[in-house]
Amino acid sequence: MQNLLLALALSAAAEGYVAGSAGWDAAYAKAQIALQKLNQTEKVGLATGVTWEGGPCVGNTYAPESIDYPSLCLQDGPLGIRFANPVTAFPAGINAGATWDRDLLYARGAAMGRESKGLGIHVQLGPASGPLGKNPDGGRNWEGFSVDPYLSGVGMEETIQGMQDSGVQACAKHWLGNEQEHHRETMSSNVGDRATHELYLWPFMNAVKANVASVMCSYNKFNQTWACESDAILNKLLKDELGFKGYVVSDWNAQHTGVNSALAGLDMTMPGSDFNTPRGNIFWDSNLVQAVSNGSVPQSRLDDMVTRILASWYLLGQDQGYPEVTFSSWDGGKATVDVTADHGSLVRTVARDSIVLLKNEDDILPLQEPQILAIIGSDAAVNPDGPNACTDRGCNNGTLAMGWGSGTAEYPYLIDPLSAIKSQAESDGTQIIQSTTDSATAGAEAAAAADTAVVFITSDAGEGYITVEGNAGDRNNLDPWHNGNEVVKAVAAKSDNVIVVVHSVGPIILETILAQPSVKAIVWAGLPGQESGNALVDVLYGSTSPSGKLPYTIAKQFADYGASWTAALDDNFAEDLLVDYRHFDQNGISPRYEFGFGLSYTSFEYSRLAINVAATAGPSNGPVVPGGAEQLFESVGTISVLVQNTGEVPGAEVAQLYIGLPDSAPSTPPKQLRGFDKLLLEPEQSGMATFELTRRDLSYWDVQEQKWIIPAGKFTVYVGSSSRDIRQHGEFSIASS
């Protein structure tokens, strides 16, 4: 499989674009020539949406006549293509993150990009690293990869490279501080400079480094100014500090002013009208022509917008025979071509390798041809009304395989756990007893008649324009939905062998479930996409050993996170740097399952930690390249460790590197993820996990100097199987310069 994926990846790369500054320079040169041919109306047309439902895509710009450039098609979203079919419903970002597998992250991005290009989409609106997920109950956390900025950054970089190698422009979103759904269009995220850099901006550095074509500014205010008209975050942070060369597009109706947004660095407004007020309320288009002619927006600013938009199009080679749009979002989305290819097998691999095994007592898993198996819960089977019965997946009926909102796609099909388990049971001669409601009594009855019971529970979330079962996007709590705790309790009272499978957007509190002695296993399957059941069977029956690791912490109680969405109109981000495991570590709180945790059917031993790091203390300087100051990305060496599979079956291990900064750095979380390497190992086989470090990985953001600084002193090295299962310790020192 790995070879097949690499072959796919390489074939995508072969037809790809020229990355790096050289690619941008050539693209800018072409853009500047094209710019000269455009009149003023055409220029603003390239920067303005044609109104909601004004073209086939969720966003469309005006096509000029003076150059050969299309009405640009922008389409959701981060896990596949919305409002079109047939398309592939990929695992959600949070599952891609849970694989901790760079090759799979790349391959998923590349496959999504091929589908977009095949449908004529120029800009796919993803991936997301905002929300980062500092609030465990945040509605859209599942669209991104992890609450840890390093893992999220790798997710962004690999996904964007994959998408753009396939020819589609990626759009990194949502910039910046968009951590909740409640009041998202009115609230202000007030974030300290250091947390802004070390947490929320970090993954976007990777995105810009990967030459992302566009960045979407978010609905919220940042430090009291609308994100889409904030000079501080658009011009200064994104364009000056990170060296972003593409264009900033507004979230849909996130623009509040015409002149201020143009001056602050917004480059494209979407969808070009406000669908909440009468159509025609447009800040740009002819108003932007007027704003330039009356001197409130310089001509050079308009020319810069257009140059950035054109350069991104040239960068991706979209001027060379790009397909026409082959669907309309507004008539059922039926496409005239089928772009799904064999992407289902990639979906299955990503879903399988994202499954996190949390508990496995008495080796109840993998299943060994059980005689009678009870399958319990509405999450075991597809919604009887069909997997796409609710618009934008805005209900939690039937098996949960993606959250709800604009970041969804139509399932071409959805393999549910029940049917996949049934076909395995058929070849094993296992009898299946099913109870696909959430009735505790019916579940207990089914369990009583079986030797093993598998209970399926869920927790859903999504975008705030839809409320599902009382949850207005963000979750009301971290408990299982649909009476999940009571169903598990009732089943556990009647069965000695209970396996709980969780389909969830994020952490849930598991204490009630863990208090039942007959709950022997917990399988964390997240939001697996269209191949849900097949991927689950691969792990439940042990054809593949589980290898996913938690991309967030599971706490013993909600309050332990010290963060949640707020009903107030200001969120002062009081967590500062202490988000997720950083907070648990700093405050000595025991999590139930820590960040980075995940069991396997085999075991791994770590040995021979080797530290080979040398760096000069002090700031990273140099010219700004895409991502930031050039020296930030200079190598400072490697850390490596030998990992051996000491068990009976093949398995993959994610070796993780955490680093603690020296005392000379101002107060910093005890340890932070700064590397990982996933190794697939046969029994007795060993492999070297290698962590490449750059200056950024050893730095903190100094708010006085306004630079990333490597502190002098002793750095602590933690290498292990999770953020708390540290197998090898070490240290290295950097002298003061």
**Shortest Cβ distance from residue 332 to ligand NAG (Å)?**
17
User: Nearest to residue 659, comparing CAs of 562, 591, 589, 734?
Assistant: 734
From the list 233, 264, 364, 693, which residue makes contact with ligand NAG (rule: CB under 6 A)?
233
Q: Counting contacts by CB under 6 A, is residue 576 touching ligand NAG?
A: no
What is the rounded CA–CA span in Å between residue 180 and residue 160?
24
Contacts with 361 (C-beta within 8 Å, 6 or more apart), sequence order: 520, 521
Q: What is the largest CA-CA distance in the chain?
A: 80
Site for ligand NAG contains 291 (CB under 6 A): yes
Stretch that binds ligand NAG, among 63-71, 425-433, 528-536, 604-612 (CB under 6 A): 63-71
Q: Which stretch binds ligand NAG (CB under 6 A): 72-80, 289-297, 409-417, 554-562?
A: 289-297
Please give the distance of CA 635 from its chain centroid, rounded to a whole number: 26
Among residue numbers 363 through 422, which ones bind ligand NAG (CB under 6 A)?
Answer: 383, 385, 389-390, 395, 397
Cβ nearer to ligand NAG, comparing 286 with 423:
286
Dihedral of the alpha carbons of 433, 436, 438, 439, in degrees to the nearest 10: -50
Q: Can you tell me the distance from the alpha carbon of 735 to that of 66, in angstroms, rounded to the nearest whole number?
A: 60
Minimum CB separation from ligand NAG for residue 289, in Å? Answer: 8
- Which residues are part of the catalytic machinery? 251
What one-character DSSP code corresponds to residue 456?
Answer: E
Rounded-to-integer distance, Cα 177 and Cα 167, Å: 29
Strand runs (DSSP E) across 285-336, as ranges? none
Which x/- pattern over 293-332 shows residues binding ligand NAG (rule: CB under 6 A)?
-x-x------------------------------------
Residues between 255 and 284 that touch ligand NAG (CB under 6 A): 258-259
Q: Using CA of residue 254, residue 258, residue 260, residue 264, what is the dihedral sign?
A: positive
Give min distance, CB of 287 to ligand NAG, in A. 4
- The least distance separating ligand NAG from the CB of residue 143, rounded to whole angstroms, comes to 22
Separation CA 615–CA 632 (nearest Å): 11
Contacts of 145 (CB under 8 A, 6+ apart): 93, 94, 96, 97, 105, 127, 129, 151, 152, 154, 155, 156, 203, 551
Asked if 120 is part of the footprint of ligand NAG (rule: CB under 6 A), the reply reads no
Closer CB to ligand NAG, residue 3 or residue 36? 36
Determine which residue in the list 4, 6, 39, 685 makes contact with ligand NAG, applying CB under 6 A: 39
Minimum Å gap between C-beta 405 and ligand NAG is 16
466 touches ligand NAG by CB under 6 A? no
Shortest distance in whole angstroms from residue 223 CB to ligand NAG: 4
Stretch that binds ligand NAG, among 35-43, 82-90, 487-495, 728-736 (CB under 6 A): 35-43
Beta-bridge partners for 334: 85
Residue labelled with tokens 């100051």: 629
Helices (H), 482-589: 484-494, 511-514, 532-540, 581-586
In whole angstroms, how far apart are CA 562 and each of 62, 183, 473, 582?
Answer: 47, 20, 20, 11
- Helices marked H in 48-186: 93-99, 102-118, 149-165
Residue of the chain from 54, 64, 118, 562 that contacts ligand NAG (CB under 6 A): 64
Judged by beta carbon, residue 41 or residue 737, the one nearer ligand NAG is 41
Q: Is 506 strand, coil or helix?
A: coil
By the rule CB under 6 A, 2 interacts with ligand NAG? no
DSSP SS3 for 105: helix
Contact region for ligand NAG (CB under 6 A) — 34-42, 310-318, 451-459, 673-681? 34-42
Q: Give the residue, chosen from 235, 287, 419, 690, that forms a contact with ligand NAG under the rule CB under 6 A.
A: 287
Q: Which of these segments, 9-17, 37-45, 149-157, 330-338, binds ligand NAG (CB under 6 A)?
A: 37-45
Q: What are the structure tokens assigned to 128, written together?
A: 């997301």
Tell me the closest approach of the beta carbon of residue 397 to ligand NAG, in angstroms.
Answer: 4
Q: Which range, of 126-134, 192-200, 362-370, 655-663, touches ligand NAG by CB under 6 A?
A: 192-200
Binding site for ligand NAG (CB under 6 A): 39, 41-42, 64-66, 191-193, 196, 223, 232-233, 237, 258-259, 287, 290-291, 294, 296, 383, 385, 389-390, 395, 397
